[in-house]
Chain A
């Protein structure tokens, strides 16, 4: 499905490979970076198809490092999203906490699959998170948005392999150097 450049740097870890542990600062920086990318001032169609990078990177670390990034951290990240989007407090917090929970539930299983099947899992999880936000918004009196809303989940799932490769990169570089 995806053809990443054929270099050892871009080779995704197979399930039986054991990666080096990521550095805590790397996790923190990638999360901050994803949050910043989410804040890019887009509008219109570009905004509609923009993947939710923050949720994606959060999900990645929740799956790969569930000891560090759990439900609590995911919840706090959702609260940040609520503040910057000027929403009712707690809706993204709840959605992201559910993502964190699903990751803690699935993380052993998801990593056994090849990347594109992982992407399908991710798609399902992100759609559930979007549905949570949708239901909460409808309860607080918003209008029903168009079905185009789902595009951001689809594009997020599509770039999951790339995000995985990028986030695994430092761990593999170090293992190559050894």
Chain B
């Protein structure tokens, strides 16, 4: 019989020149991919390429949204009158409460302005807000992103705070011509400088990635933090306007072996369900730091993408 059985060659004999071998091509594209990843992570010089591709792909993205929008508008068409009336009543009540709260706030603001004039503290000007609509949430299982639309002429700026009606949603990280990316507060290692409303103690809130609640880090075990405490932005980084709600403390664990308490916080903004959002301008730049400690002067660098 046959001496040995040879397997079929996986590549045909090279009668025709078909260019480089698959393994050579794979190596070539693999090296390019790794180089791109390195450049993108370290130097951020590929943003124009990314923006160009994203703008070309945008119509396809819009097309993908059409079925969901149609389903929604059909659903809205069948909303009953009583549902609409209920919603109308609820909104009126909320408006009434909001306007009353605002009147109280106007009075206290005037008072505060007078006092700070007396004390000659620089006053915080009102922050401009631009409305935007959440188009879709990120599909990447590793990161927490949302995408908002942007009409022409809306001067979005990377780094601006994004809020919904309940609190801070995240931060604009990339601004494309027709849409913008929002990194949500739950993104891993996304840091927000906060203060506790009740005690005015300052701390840092760190996101921990999908499926986990953000936590307050580096808070001493004996610090005065309770369940239900509300966290507001402290605006200590000059990025977020001050006093925006961020999260509510949901659990505090104190461990005798550790110097720090483990404090989990639930974001107040509906991170997975917001529809309409506001993009807030950055507060007016603070006076530059004295030259002695310029090391920490770059406020934006600690944010991950």
Contacts and interface: CB of A to CB of B under 8 A. Distances in A.
B37 A75 contact: no
B126 to A, nearest CB: 31
Contacts of A90: 32-37, 40
Contact of B50 (A41, A71, A83, A146): A83
A141 interface: yes
Given A32-B60, A89-B46, A97-B26, A83 B37 contact: no
Interface string A96-123: 0110110011001100000000000000
Given A40-B67, A71-B25, A80 B57 contact: yes
A2 B26 CA distance: 34
Interface centre among B135, B136, B142, B181 (most CB of A within 10 A): B142
A138 to B, nearest CB: 9
Interface in B188-219: 188-189, 208-212
Interface stretch (A42-50, A155-163, A164-172): A42-50
Contacts of B41: 88, 140
Contact of A140 (B22, B37, B54): B37
A48 B138 contact: no
Given A84-B61, A90-B32, A98-B26, A142 B188 contact: yes
Interface residues of B, number: 52
A19 interface: no
Contacts of A48: 141
Given A40-B67, A88-B41, 11 more contacts: A39-B64, A41-B65, A41-B135, A43-B137, A83-B50, A91-B33, A93-B36, A141-B189, A142-B142, A143-B210, A145-B141
Interface of A: 32, 35-44, 47-48, 70-72, 75, 78-80, 83-91, 93-94, 97-98, 100-101, 104-105, 108-109, 136-137, 140-143, 145-146, 149
28 contacts: A36-B64, A38-B64, A44-B272, A70-B22, A75-B29, A75-B32, A80-B57, A83-B57, A84-B54, A84-B57, A86-B140, A86-B143, A86-B181, A87-B140, A87-B143, A93-B36, A94-B34, A97-B33, A100-B26, A101-B22, A101-B26, A108-B8, A136-B37, A137-B142, A141-B304, A143-B142, A146-B211, A149-B141
